[in-house]
Amino acid sequence: MKVPLLDLHAQYKSIKSEVKSAIDEVLESQYFIMGDTVKRFEAEIADNCNATHAFGCASGSDALLLALMAIDIKPGEYVITTPFTFFATAGAISRLGAIPVFADIDPTTFNIDPNEIEAILNGEHPVANRLAVDVSKIRAIIPVHLYGQMAEMTPIMELAKMYDLYVIEDAAQAIGSKYKGKIAGEFGDFGCFSFFPSKNLGAYGDGGLITIKDAALAEKVDILRTHGARPKYHNIYVGMNSRLDAMQAAILSVKLPYLDEWSQKRREAAQRYNALFEEHGITSLISECSSSCVDQGNEGCALPENKLVLPSEIEGAPENDGKHIYHQYTVRVKNRDEIIEALKNEGIGSAVYYPVPMHMQKCYSDMGFKSEDFPKSVCAANQALSLPIYPEITPEQQEYVVSKLTKILSNYA
Ligand SMILES: Cc1ncc(COP(=O)(O)O)c(C=O)c1O
């Protein structure tokens, strides 16, 4: 049996005729950039995400950049975010000459820990203090809803209010995810979404979208995405060319009505994995990550070599009207790279999101970080292993993954 990490063919097959006629319509119109098709999709997403304003753009990376440009982030200012994310989050901050201030993660959810944010803002975070972060120049927080589960937005929003900071939700992996009854993008000043093909709502190329609360900021984003010009050829700001193609918008409009059903299927698949792993008796609770754990590399963690840690949903979800949409189903294991090879030999795809935390990226090597500054992120980068998940995955495929992984782990007994 073969179980790929993601199978986009299965989804395409189920919507092929609708997609083809949507593409055909765009071809017949010969209108490819912005226009009514894009406007219609923006309205649909705004409705879906309870947003007042929504603007398509070229990618999730550009959505983050546009949000930071809209609030006029300047060189030398600071933005708090997580070190355990895709580079686009930190990269958007740095590209504007601003400085990312990292707050370590909650190891159970892999998402930014609000206590860490609070310590930075109170001037009590040892790393921020060592690097002489000027708290008065912190302008925003970018929580990332990693793997499809929202960060702890209640305390994050409280801190943002207390310190008068903007909140830009990086919801690239979390469209349709919920926390305490609100949907991803609904808490912050901005919600940034990606339609990269492998995302839960994936285009057939690059694409992104930004949702915005404030009307004036919304207008600014709209202007910024077309070179900062309004009217055309009269540039108010130095903007960029970041637009969603009509073709991608048409495809996404076909897919959007299926999103809830697809997310539900992903949730069911995650629950099936959890139950199967429990049945096989190979699960372990999360171990405490510490600086010493990082000093000793992967060997320092208390996680037994023949067990794995299941992904966990934040307290109360879904009972508390929260919803993880399992963009990824990510477990923790030791000997991760060997396990990936062994899975590959059994025809099973897997991936590491992400192997290098932001503070250890070469491009940030002059910022003065040490590996052990964010031990929980380093530990996650050593142990995280994403297993195949997509709406069409079959119970047989999942049983195959679990039985093979159980066998591989038993070699470490
Ligand atoms: C957390 C996160 N932020 C931002 C992005 C950037 O999105 P895009 O690839 O559409 O630029 C991604 C996409 O991979 C992501 O996973």
Same domain for 226 and 253? yes
d(CA 295, CA 371): 8
- Work out which ligand 1 atom sits closest to the CA atom of 144: 1
Same domain for 143 and 188? yes
User: What is the whole-number distance in angstroms between the Cα of residue 203 and the centre of ligand 1?
Assistant: 13
pLDDT for the residue numbered 413: 79
pLDDT for the residue numbered 314: 83
d(CA 141, CA 108): 21
Q: What is the CATH number of the domain that holds 268?
A: 3.90.1150.10
Among the listed residues 7, 3, 46, the one whose alpha carbon sits nearest the alpha carbon of residue 262: 7
For the entire predicted model, the pTM comes to 0.97
User: What is the whole-number distance in angstroms between the Cα of residue 210 and the centre of ligand 1?
Assistant: 12
Residue 319 is assigned to a structural domain of this protein: yes
Q: Using an 8 Å Cβ cutoff, are 147 and 328 in contact?
A: yes
Q: In testing the pocket of ligand 1, which one of 65, 86, 169, 201 has its CB within 8 Å of the most ligand atoms?
A: 86
Largest CA distance in the chain: 68
Q: In testing the pocket of ligand 1, which one of 173, 190, 358 has its CB within 8 Å of the most ligand atoms?
A: 173
- Work out which ligand 1 atom sits closest to the CA atom of 173: 16
Q: How confident is the model at residue 259 (pLDDT cuts 50, 70, 90)?
A: very high
Q: What is the CATH number of the domain that holds 99?
A: 3.40.640.10
pLDDT for the residue numbered 302: 72
pLDDT for the residue numbered 291: 59
Span 25-51, average pLDDT: 96
User: What is the whole-number distance in angstroms between the Cα of residue 229 and the centre of ligand 1?
Assistant: 26
Cα end-to-end span (Å), the chain = 26
Residue 53 is assigned to a structural domain of this protein: yes
User: What is the whole-number distance in angstroms between the Cα of residue 196 and the centre of ligand 1?
Assistant: 7
Strand partners, 329: 387
Residue 3 is assigned to a structural domain of this protein: no
Percent of the chain's residues with pLDDT above 90: 92
- Work out which ligand 1 atom sits closest to the CA atom of 194: 10
Same domain for 312 and 331? yes
Among the listed residues 140, 161, 110, the one whose alpha carbon sits nearest the alpha carbon of residue 331: 110
Q: How confident is the model at residue 288 (pLDDT cuts 50, 70, 90)?
A: low
* Pairing outcome for strands 190-194 and 384-387: unpaired
* Pairing outcome for strands 99-102 and 138-142: unpaired
Q: In testing the pocket of ligand 1, which one of 110, 196, 209, 248 has its CB within 8 Å of the most ligand atoms?
A: 196
Cα–Cα–Cα angle for 46, 52, 58, rounded to 5 degrees: 55
Same domain for 245 and 360? no
Asked which of 258, 289, 321 is the last residue of a domain, the reply is 258
- Please state whether the peptide bond connecting residue 231 to the residue before it is cis, i.e. omega within 30 degrees of 0: yes
Same domain for 196 and 309? no
pLDDT for the residue numbered 322: 77
Asked which of 211, 227, 258 is the last residue of a domain, the reply is 258
DSSP 86-131: -HHHHHHHHHTT-EEEE-PBPTTT-SBPHHHHHHHHTT--HHHHHT
d(CA 165, CA 81): 13
- Work out which ligand 1 atom sits closest to the CA atom of 59: 10
Per-residue model confidence as pLDDT tens digits over 333-390: 999 999 999 999 999 999 999 999 999 999 999 999 999 999 999 999 999 999 999 9
- Work out which ligand 1 atom sits closest to the CA atom of 196: 10
Asked which of 258, 274, 292 is the last residue of a domain, the reply is 258
Q: How confident is the model at residue 98 (pLDDT cuts 50, 70, 90)?
A: very high
Q: Using an 8 Å Cβ cutoff, are 276 and 399 in contact?
A: yes
pLDDT for the residue numbered 320: 66
Span 181-189, average pLDDT: 96
User: What is the whole-number distance in angstroms between the Cα of residue 172 and the centre of ligand 1?
Assistant: 5
Q: How confident is the model at residue 321 (pLDDT cuts 50, 70, 90)?
A: confident
d(CA 161, CA 187): 12
Q: In testing the pocket of ligand 1, which one of 111, 149, 194 has its CB within 8 Å of the most ligand atoms?
A: 194
Contacts 24+ apart (CB under 8 A), 252-257: 252/41, 252/195, 252/201, 252/203, 252/207, 253/22, 253/37, 253/40, 253/41, 253/44, 254/15, 254/18, 254/19, 254/22, 255/15, 255/201, 255/202, 256/41, 256/44, 256/45, 256/48, 256/201
- Work out which ligand 1 atom sits closest to the CA atom of 88: 4
Report in angstroms the alpha-carbon separations of 227 from 95, 220, 243.
17, 11, 10
**pLDDT for 70 beyond 90:** yes
User: What is the whole-number distance in angstroms between the Cα of residue 197 and the centre of ligand 1?
Assistant: 11
Same domain for 286 and 352? yes
Q: Which of 38-47, 77-86, 293-302 is least confident?
A: 293-302
Residue 315 is assigned to a structural domain of this protein: yes
Span 87-110, average pLDDT: 97
Same domain for 307 and 351? yes
d(CA 127, CA 99): 14
User: What is the whole-number distance in angstroms between the Cα of residue 275 and the centre of ligand 1?
Assistant: 30
Span 293-315, average pLDDT: 74
Same domain for 233 and 271? no
Same domain for 208 and 289? no
pLDDT for the residue numbered 37: 97
pLDDT for the residue numbered 303: 83
d(CA 237, CA 234): 9
Which residue lies with its CA nearest to atom 7 of ligand 1? 60
**pLDDT for 213 beyond 80:** yes
Span 31-37, average pLDDT: 94
Residue 1 is assigned to a structural domain of this protein: no
Same domain for 99 and 210? yes
User: What is the whole-number distance in angstroms between the Cα of residue 406 and the centre of ligand 1?
Assistant: 32
> How far is C-alpha 125 from the chain's CA centre?
25
For the four alpha carbons of 216, 176, 239 and 65, in that order, the dihedral sign comes to: positive
Residue 2 is assigned to a structural domain of this protein: no
Residue 321 is assigned to a structural domain of this protein: yes
pLDDT for the residue numbered 286: 76
Same domain for 284 and 253? no
Q: How confident is the model at residue 289 (pLDDT cuts 50, 70, 90)?
A: low
Which residue lies with its CA nearest to atom 8 of ligand 1? 60
d(CA 186, CA 179): 10
Domain around 81: 8-103+110-258
pLDDT for the residue numbered 292: 55
Which residue lies with its CA nearest to atom 12 of ligand 1? 172
Mean pLDDT of all residues in the chain?
A: 94
Residue 335 is assigned to a structural domain of this protein: yes
**pLDDT for 298 beyond 50:** no
Same domain for 130 and 56? yes
Stated as kind and residue range, the H or E segment containing 330 is strand 329-332
Pocket of ligand 1 (CB under 6 A): 59-61, 85-86, 88-89, 144, 170, 172-173, 194, 196, 206, 208
Higher pLDDT, 136 or 302: 136
Span 184-213, average pLDDT: 98
User: What is the whole-number distance in angstroms between the Cα of residue 86 and the centre of ligand 1?
Assistant: 6
Q: How many domains does the chain divide into?
A: 2
**pLDDT for 296 beyond 70:** no
Strand partners, 138: 78
